[in-house]
């Protein structure tokens, strides 16, 4: 089986992430901090352990990110009732507003990047992206679960 097209898509994806990471940043927050905020926004009550299971991130680094998000009033920790001190992470009102602004900024950025393509090609790109999303749900269900959005 030839996996060259898969490798090309992955390499292209890394370049796209690099470009978008500059655009998606919410000013004072890095791409990783913004991604963490998004993970909490997509999965209210997620634990830090769950985030590290799905993202290749050092636990200490994630802990510092969460501490910053909490101290800036974007995230709050809540104990799970009856679960030995387990803590879930939730967005505050301020965090929800920033998360929604980041989502809008992402939509605008994507629209801007595909705007020069003919409408037919834009539609095909979106169709193929949806198909890839559906396939990733089957091939990589655990990773996809953390990355999926609230549609």
36-94 pLDDT tens trace: 999 999 999 999 988 888 777 889 999 999 999 999 999 999 987 766 778 899 999 99
- If one counts every other C-beta atom within 10 angstroms of the C-beta of residue 33, the result is 19
The 10s digit of each residue's pLDDT in 92-140 is 999 999 999 988 888 888 888 889 899 999 899 889 989 988 888 888 7
The pLDDT value recorded for residue 150 is 47
The pLDDT value recorded for residue 151 is 41
Interatomic CA distance for residues 77 and 57, integer angstroms:
20
CB 41 within 8 A of CB 95: yes
Interatomic CA distance for residues 109 and 138, integer angstroms:
28
State how far the alpha carbon of 151 is from the alpha carbons of 4, 42, 103, 142, 148, in Å: 32, 10, 12, 18, 9
């Amino acid at each position: 089986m030839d996996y060259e097209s898969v490798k090309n898509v992955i390499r292209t994806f890394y370049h796209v992430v690099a470009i978008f990471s500059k655009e998606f940043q919410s000013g004072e927050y890095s791409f990783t901090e913004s991604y963490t905020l998004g993970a909490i926004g997509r999965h209210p009550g997620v634990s830090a352990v769950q985030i590290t299971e799905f993202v290749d991130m050092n636990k200490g680094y994630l802990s510092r990110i969460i501490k910053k998000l909490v101290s800036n009033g974007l995230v709050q920790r809540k104990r799970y009732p009856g679960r030995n001190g387990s803590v879930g992470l939730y967005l505050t009102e301020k965090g929800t507003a920033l998360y929604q602004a980041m989502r809008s900024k992402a939509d605008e950025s994507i629209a801007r990047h595909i705007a020069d393509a003919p409408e037919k090609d834009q539609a095909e790109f979106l169709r193929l992206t949806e198909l890839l999303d559906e396939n990733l749900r089957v091939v990589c269900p655990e990773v996809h679960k953390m990355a999926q959005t609230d549609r």
